Every structure is written in C-alpha cells, then in structure tokens.
Amino acid sequence: MLDPLGPYCDNITDYRLSYYLILAPVCNYAKGKWVVDDRRPLYSGFGCKQWLAPMWACSLMQRQDFAFEKLRWQPKGCEMEEFEGPKFLKRMHDKTLAFVGDSLGRQQFQSLMCMITDGKDRSDVLDVGNEYGLVLPPGSIRPNGWAYRFLSTNTTVLYYWSSGLCELEPLDVKDPQTEYAMHLDRPPSFLRQFLHKIDVLVLNKGHHWNRGKLRANRWVMYVGDSQVPKHPHLKAFYRSISPRHFVNGDWNTGGSCNNTKPMSIGKEVLQEGSSDHAAVSAVRWTGVKLLDITALSQVRDEGHISRICITSSPGVQDCLHWCLPGVPDTWNEILFAQI
C-alpha cells in the first residue's frame, strides 16, 4: 500500500500522529452538555478587578446562589483542550487577538483577560490603547475600546466597540438629528486601519440589529462601497448570537429572568446545525469561521445578571448580559480550542 503521508514523516511516531490527525473527526464544540466541575470557576469575580467591570462581577453584588460558576461545557464525543493562561500566551506569541462588536463582545474580552491572568493583577501587562486610537474622547464615559500587551510573549488582546460592524456616516454633519448611513459592505474605520496588525479576529453583533435600535439610532442601510481587503494570515471568527432570556415581557416592559439555579446539568444539546441561521448564512463562503455558542448558552438562563444589576432602573432586569465568571468563559474556551 502506498504511504499516504509520503516523505513528510521522519519516524514512526510522526507517522502515527499525522495519520491520526488525518482520520480524526473534527470536534463539533456546539454539541454536548453542561457538567459540574469543582475546579471552576477559572478566576474569581472578587479578584479580577484590573480587567472586570464591577457591573458584571456578580460576586460583588447581592447574588446568593453561585452554583452556576461550577459548570463546564463538555462537547459530545471529543475532549475540549483545557484553557491555561501560559498556554494561550505561548500560542499567541507575537500575535494580536481582537474582539470587535457590542457589549457582549466586551464581556467576552474582559472574560478572556481574567482567564489569561487567573484574575490576578499583572504589572507586566502594558496598556497599548494609544497605538490603536483607543483613548477616552472628551465628554465620554469610556473609550471605544481597550488594548493590552503581555510583554512576556508580545501578545496583544484588544476590544473595539462596533455595534453594527459597519461604517456609520452622518448624512448631514450640521444636523444634530441627522440620520446615519450604515455602509453594510464597508467595515468600521478601525478595521480598515488596523486589520493588517490583527492575527485572530472575533466579530459579533445581533441585538443592535432590530427595528427599535435602528429607529432609535437613526441608522439607514446603504450598500455600494469598498470591500474588506484580504489578509491571508488572519483567522476570523463570527460569534453567533448570545440568547436573551426575558420572560413575561422585554427589558423595558417588566421582563424577568429570576431563575438562579442551573437547570441544564446533564441535558444534551445535540442539534446538528447552529440555531443562529443568520450567522450561518453570513459566514458561508467567506472564509470566516462560525464560533457557535447560541444553543449551549440558551440552556443557561440562570447565568444572567438579572435583578441584581447595579446600573439599571428600578424594576428593570438584565437578562441579556452574563455574570462573570460565567458563560462567556466557555465561549473563550471554545475559541482557544479553535485557534
């Protein structure tokens, strides 16, 4: 029989390993179940103060039940590589990972920073936001993003706020009530300027693309501009939509998510395709990989900030954002396994 690997294996160990990699099925990380793991969480919400916003650290609020922090996602029929900060930094040596998206992308960014550092303060991490124009504009509450570099491996992790994932342009700069053109085939100026410096890109959108948000933001869709340039070195992921769990109303009509106990333990998620059909369609034939987190997050209704949110109005619950540590940590574990 002909050697399927030809001259590429120098010894029998290499041969067996390479032959296994050829025959081994690709792991579908979206199928599996949540299991209890006493080694969780991967970091402490009390300790990760350098990276984690207090409004998402449920340990610092009035929550009493923290069983949700002890769950680990177990893919069906395969093992997911265990996340370790030093291993991540070694894999991303001299590389940059960028999250571009809305506040849920910001949660995933802060989650990853806590995971890499074990939730501990690090004096060897440099704020390099200036290199990417991520500074606090006059009169703003926060900058458009953050960028940090781990000096030991020259690894940069950054986040940029872009709720629409496209360039927004005022139609009349002199009119404070002007509409904004959403150039759907023109990426945000941040990406046009810095994409060549990014090695791993994680995009997300979803909850800002609805009729209410479009009307409130005065966004009007436009098509007919330049395309995203091709970058052969880039690994790009599009994260599927993070589910909301409002019951008996929406965020502004009395909707709630009062469950605090995990109900998903041992229940398998076995669907073959993603339940976010729009995301599947968006990445088809693009070379962008789907980071499919929708179904596995759908069964974690107890993981939201809920009524303990410290920034909401009385009677308003947050059934969109997640407690950290929590479900977004798993999104990063799956991302790490696919980098």
Contact 270, 31 (CB under 8 A): yes
- Residue 6: pLDDT above 90? no
The per-residue pLDDT for range 289-315, each reduced to its tens digit, is 999 999 999 999 999 999 887 666 777
**How many CB atoms neighbour CB 149 within 10 A?**
18
Domain membership of residue 2 (yes or no) is no
How far from 203 is each of 99, 185, 297, CA to CA, in Å?
6, 15, 17
Residue 21 placed within a domain: no
Confidence at residue 217, expressed as pLDDT on a 0 to 100 scale: 61
Q: Is residue 19 part of a domain?
A: no
- Tell whether 147 is covered by a domain: yes
Domain tally, the chain:
1
Residue 125: strand pairing partners: 150
Domain that holds residue 158: 32-337
Give residue-wise pLDDT tens across range 252-267.
888 999 999 999 999 9
pLDDT tens digits, residue range 100-123? 999 999 999 999 999 999 999 999
On whether residue 23 sits in a domain, the answer given is: no
pLDDT at 312: 64
The share of the chain scoring above pLDDT 70, in percent, equals 82
3-state secondary structure the chain: CCCCCHHHCCCHHHHHHHHHHHHCCCCCCCCEEEEECCCCCCCCCCCCCCCCCHHHCHHHCCCCCCHHHHEEEEECCCCCCCCCHHHHHHHCCCCEEEEEECHHHHHHHHHHHHHHHCCCCCCCEEECHHHHCCCCCCCCCCCCEEEEEECCCCEEEEEEECCCCCEEEECCCCCCCCCEEEECCCCCHHHHHHHHHCCEEEECCCCCCCHHHHHHHCEEEECCCCCCCCCCCCEEEEECCCCCCCECCCCCCCCECCCCCCCCECCEECCCCCCCHHHHHHHCCCCCEEECCHHHHHCCHHHEEECCCCCCCCCCCEEEEECCCCHHHHHHHHHHHHC
Q: Is 62 a member of any domain?
A: yes
> Backbone phi, then psi, for 227, in 5-degree steps?
-95, 160
Residue 11 lies in a domain: no
User: Higher pLDDT residue, 73 or 316?
Assistant: 73
Is 157 among the domain residues? yes
Q: What is the pLDDT of residue 218?
A: 61
What pLDDT was estimated at residue 223? 47
Q: Are 159 and 99 in contact (CB under 8 A)?
A: yes
The lowest-confidence range among 30-34, 181-185, 190-194 is 181-185
